[in-house]
Amino acid sequence: MCGIGAYIGDKDASSILTSIIRDLEYRGYDSCGIATYSDGKINCKKDIGKVSDIDFSSLKGNVGIAHTRWATHGIVNFENSHPHSDCDKKMYLVHNGIIENADELRNILAGHEFTSKTDSEVIIHLIEDFVNAGDTVEDAFVKCLKLLEGAYAIVLIHEEKLYVARKGSPLVLGVGNNEMFVASDSVPIQKYTRNIIFLEEGDYGVLWKDNYKINNLDSVDVDREIKILNNNIDEISKGSFEHFMLKEIYEQPKTIERAFLGRISDDKVKFGGLNISEDVLKKIKRIILIGCGTSWHAGIVGGYLFEDISKIQTKVEYASEFRYKNPVIDENDLVIVLSQSGETADSIAAIKEAKSKGAKVIGIVNGVGSTISRMVDGGIYLHAGSEIGVASTKTFSSHLVVLYLLSVYLGSLKGTVRDPAKMLNELQEIPALISGFLENNNIEGVSSKYFDCDNALYLGRDYNFPIALEGALKLKEISYIHAEGYPAAEMKHGPIALIDKNMPVIVIAPEGRLYPKIMSNISEVKSRKGKVIVITTNGLEDGFDEVIKIPKVSEYLMPLISVVPVQLLSYYIAKKRGCDVDRPRNLAKSVTVE
């Protein structure tokens, strides 16, 4: 949600911190700020609005902290923006997470002058209270952490030191040459150093420019490995594209290929990081797919794949519901958690729940070194590269590829797949088919006719039902048009009451075994004067208001094709409405709080 940055070294802190929080903008935010230490005092500048709207160059010094805030406690205003200071302005702090006992702690801090309504400001005053009682800053920091209930990633600046802590919210360190970096994820600091440390739950640390230490809350030293990351940081640039979202849609042929490269050999699927034996996987009786938002939609596709191809009973759960429902699971279940960031708070809690009951857990994530990737029994990376647009596109398609590969792999183990070579060959043809569609389509023209609608309905059946859900989500996320996705046959059970001449109905109807059924649903829409935009395969185009042609592939792989037009349609409609496509209001890329 919020983004955190910090620097200590010999260089100008404000310019580095501005760069870091600019690269964290994709996480979503409503205000931002930087504080630096120079000439014996800390200077702070913050405000509501974008990083580009504020000139931080007047902040001098070689050590500082920075923040982009996504409001959780307190409205969006100057006072609630970060960094926050103690009463004497000797210490400043930035925080991501939610402190659940903030009101209780605020009540014991009598005499402290609070300037905001945030839970974060409670932390800095609690530290100040311990310092005033005679504790060192480090001891006060640790005492404070032990009293906090909830989730936090914290960076505190006091003189020429930084204090960091992590519980339930990600925080990474970058180790440079006589300099240290801190950020909410590794991407913004990889332009400065590839040497990355991922803090673990309950870690705190003290940073100097030429040294650091990491302890647990019992002040015992802990050893955290320095990982050498080699992500392509050029992907943070939009290149020739107007928006990151459009760039990432067009990257899908490449990212789909990355998702299967090295995982197909001799007409078989091979995974390097499952860490679960084939004997154990053969005994799996049920699969539970868990995700949030777009990842949940990918999970629904996965549910069809595992039941059709692997012949394994499968259910799909929202992570936020699964974690609280006391699910009935055991060692015969395989839980697969889907996440773009690998830091989704509800998904992390779901993993803990599943593992506590004996299930094996696989994580399919894009975030290298993320919390989920370190928690699970086995992991599969998407290798999709940095996804900056808040609305996920290329990571969705990469999730579908991995789920397809995994269904073929498990089906091969169980003897339910007779011709894996044919299935894998067809997958390898998908990038070229999508490239051809991206080069020649009519979606921008279609969008110009419907961008001013107030409501939209998406319909699909079977494998294309989750694509209807995904299309509706994308449209509402970035264009702020109310949209719903439904199984086409369910239209008669409610949504049909909304259809009139002003409502576009987007129907995903490729040629296949259910095509006659969905044609009947389309007739019901047309009889109520609804505008029908049909996404269909070549040669099927009569009787519709708008036709978007897509290539024909097997039903297993059709979601990889049919999702591209709904992504593009939402993009062009949002663009024509003048919306901020890459940073839609109120949304965050990485949801690290409940």
The whole-angstrom separation of Cα 286 and Cα 264 is: 25
Q: Ramachandran region of residue 260, left (φ > 0), alpha (ψ -120 to 50) or beta?
A: alpha
| CA-CA-CA-CA torsion sign (280, 286, 287, 292) | negative
Residue in 2, 32, 44, 144 annotated catalytic: 2
User: Is the distance from CB of 373 to CB of 363 less than 8 angstroms?
Assistant: yes
Write 276-281 long-range contacts (CB < 8 A, 24+). 276/360, 276/362, 276/377, 276/378, 278/413, 280/360, 281/334, 281/410, 281/413
Known catalytic residue: 11? no
Query: Taking a C-beta distance cutoff of 8 angstroms, is the pair 377, 362 a contact?
Result: yes
Q: How many CB atoms lie within 10 A of CB 554?
A: 12
Measured CA to CA, the distance from residue 516 to residue 380 in angstroms comes to 38
Q: 3-state class of 527 per DSSP? A: coil
> Minimal CA–CA distance to 343: which of 382, 385, 375, 303?
375
DSSP state of 489: G
3-state SS track over 368-430: CCCHHHHHCCEEEECCCCCCCCCCCCHHHHHHHHHHHHHHHHHHHHHCCCCCHHHHHHHHHHH
The H or E element spanning position 475 is helix 465-479
Tell me the β-bridge partners of 486.
Answer: 459
Estimate to the nearest angstrom the gap between the alpha carbon of 338 and the chain centroid. 10
Q: In the annotation, is 453 catalytic?
A: no
Greatest Cα pair distance in the chain:
81
Amino acid at 428: Q
* DSSP summary character for residue 99: B
90: left (phi over 0), alpha (psi -120 to 50) or beta: alpha
Which of 144, 142, 158 shows the shortest CA–CA distance to 207? 158
| Catalytic option among 167, 209, 476, 589 | 589
Residues labelled catalytic:
2, 589
